[in-house]
Structure 1
Amino acid sequence: MSTIKGVKIHESQRFEQEQTKLQEEPVTEEKPLRILINEEPFTVTMRTPGLDKELVIGLLYNEDIVRSMNDLVIILSTSDQMDTAEVTLPTAALREGYMSARNFLSVSSCGVCGKTNLPEISGQLAQGTANHRVILSGLKRMRERQEIFEQTGGCHSAAVLDSLGSIIAIAEDIGRHNAVDKVIGSLLLEDHLKEAQTLLVSGRISYEIVIKCFRAKIPVLAAVSAPSSLAIDYAKELGITLFAFCRENRLTRFS
């Protein structure tokens, strides 16, 4: 069986109609990535390998650790048990998000776990253009490009549309938050973040996703699944146009 990066093959037994079948099953890979900042441990995040540099940049940007890519160096290394990203940058470039951080573990099912406080952010984005057909079309095209999900059925995706509805970044990961960090990091690397108009996510929307959207200054957020109540509250407060339950040619706007 041919596989792609981020997919591993495991032996399994299938039980169906009193029949037992031995088979090889493609499974989404989950592996820890340790992030060091200036040789100091910062976090360990569980992710699907692939676009690791983009993931690190997106995470540091979305957590308000850094705002500029200038003088930022990332060296990636791998091992059997844990991969490592060594980040080097001038101490003066570290922002409040780093100063108030604790060492924490970020698992694939949550955002940044172990936070001691909700983020203190304020302001409002300028209202974005939200075309229902463009959103549904973008989600359809995102689904068509979910290679890991196609093989495993167990992987999230995020994509970013520009003002014309074209996909300008797309990524998959076992974690919803990681997929968002990857697409934002990809746009930062290519200096295209200013072109971002709509963030699409394959799963549900929690408040962390809304905050990542706000920090990236993306005015429209749309998801296949449900939003949380706090996500809706933050979206209203921050001026983000929020859509959910975007499937089967229908969608619901909450803010």
Structure 2
Amino acid sequence: MGFPLSRSMSGLSVHRDGRAPISRTLPEEVPVALVYNGTTHAVMMASPGDIADFAYGFALTEGIVTSLDQVLEFEEVSHDSGIEARFWLRDDRQEALSARRRFMAGPVGCGLCGLDSLEQANRALPVISDDGLKLHPAQVVRATDDLRSLQVLHERTRATHAAGFLVPGQGIVTLREDVGRHNALDKLIGALARQGIDPAGGAFVMTSRLSVELVQKCAMAGCAALIAVSAPTSHALRLAEAAGITLVAFARQGGFDIYSHPQRVISEVSDVA
């Protein structure tokens, strides 16, 4: 069976002038079990689209695999109760799988739920080199508006996040949506990997605040810049600084704030209007 991305649901609208029945299109969310070599590693609530992208992105950002050739086989299996994303991995990935083991289901708003130690929640991250990525201010300031204009599911439901890949000179070239911001980013990272696109060539753009797990996923993917419509947490900023990631927040209403590694955004202030 397949799950719809959204459903029309009835309700009651209450205003000062009275009450009226309504019907609204709401996003669906379902349990997605990430299964490796026959063992369930995690169960995450997610939008039921682009599940293969989500599963591959999750495996990469969790460090369960570091390249797609470590996956021997993958299948997506739908049940009445949810979706299984089943991987069969090379034998040498068992240690990495055990190191990031999760013990509980992750609700839609949580990207770190179920980890079995404080050390895993604060894992060491790779440091992104300053490899020449340059972002034009005019493109940065438009990034979240451009992302929002491409959100088909959000247009129907007004209730989903998106993650997009911004390539200098090209704009948003790939986008994924989900009810969870961390799921949207995993879906994007999985999509890029499956398409053979290197995240080092652009920036991730988010419709949400910037929290710890988003910076961690950005670093694990090797992307040098993270742009968002809202604020970062202080811990996310510390992680971005240490990982060499350019963190751009409040990218909206004609401006943006840069909180770490500003050298990647070329200094043409007059272009930001």
* Structure 2 length-normalised TM: 0.87
Q: CA deviation at 1:137?
A: 2.4
3-state SS, counterpart of residue 69 of structure 2: coil
Match of 2:238 among 216, 233, 254: 233
Match of 2:257 among 244, 249, 252: 252
Match of 1:119 among 119, 123, 127: 123
Alignment match, 1:41? 40
Q: Which whole-Å CA distance do the structure 1 matches of 2:112 and 2:140 have between them?
A: 27
- The 3 A distance-change label for structure 1 pair 100 and 182 is closer
Alignment of 1:91-130 (within 5 A): 91-94=91-94, 96=96, 98-115=98-115, 116=117, 117=119, 118-126=122-130, 128-130=133-135
Alignment match, 1:157? 162
Alignment of 1:65-84 (within 5 A): 65-70=64-69, 72=71, 73-84=73-84
3-state SS, counterpart of residue 70 of structure 1: helix
What per-residue deviation string (whole Å, max 9, x for no partner) do you get for residues 68-112 of structure 1? 111522211112222111111112134535434233322210113
One-letter code aligned to 2:124: E
**Alignment pair present for 1:200 and 2:199:** no
What per-residue deviation string (whole Å, max 9, x for no partner) do you get for residues 165-222 of structure 1? 4322201100000000001100000111256310000000011111111111111110
Q: Which whole-Å CA distance do the structure 2 matches of 1:175 and 1:52 have between them?
A: 13
- The 3 A distance-change label for structure 1 pair 97 and 229 is farther
Question: Does the Cα contact within 8 Å between 1:105 and 1:112 map onto a contact in 2?
Answer: no
Match of 1:213 among 218, 221, 225: 218
**Alignment pair present for 1:62 and 2:48:** no
Q: Which whole-Å CA distance do the structure 1 matches of 2:110 and 2:258 have between them?
A: 24
3-state SS, counterpart of residue 130 of structure 1: coil
Q: Which whole-Å CA distance do the structure 2 matches of 1:62 and 1:138 have between them?
A: 23
Q: CA deviation at 1:122?
A: 4.3
One-letter code aligned to 1:208: E
- The 3 A distance-change label for structure 1 pair 247 and 218 is same
What per-residue deviation string (whole Å, max 9, x for no partner) do you get for residues 100-159 of structure 1? 423332221011312222112243432632322112223222111111111211110000
3-state SS, counterpart of residue 45 of structure 1: strand
Question: Does the Cα contact within 8 Å between 1:13 and 1:20 map onto a contact in 2?
Answer: yes
One-letter code aligned to 1:92: D
Question: Which runs of 5 or more residues in structure 1 are unaligned?
Answer: none
Question: Does the Cα contact within 8 Å between 2:126 and 2:220 map onto a contact in 1?
Answer: no
One-letter code aligned to 1:103: F
One-letter code aligned to 1:28: P
Question: Does the Cα contact within 8 Å between 2:44 and 2:106 map onto a contact in 1?
Answer: yes
Q: CA deviation at 1:162?
A: 1.9
* Structure 1 length-normalised TM: 0.93
Greater mean alpha carbon deviation, residues 8-17 or residues 89-98: 89-98
- The 3 A distance-change label for structure 1 pair 50 and 93 is same
Report the count of equivalent residues: 252
- The 3 A distance-change label for structure 1 pair 206 and 52 is same
One-letter code aligned to 1:125: S
Q: Which runs of 4+ in 1 moved over 4 A?
A: none
Q: Which whole-Å CA distance do the structure 2 matches of 1:191 and 1:95 have between them?
A: 26
Alignment match, 2:264? none
Q: Which whole-Å CA distance do the structure 1 matches of 2:95 and 2:175 have between them?
A: 27
**Alignment pair present for 1:142 and 2:147:** yes
Question: Which runs of 5 or more residues in structure 2 are unaligned?
Answer: 261-273
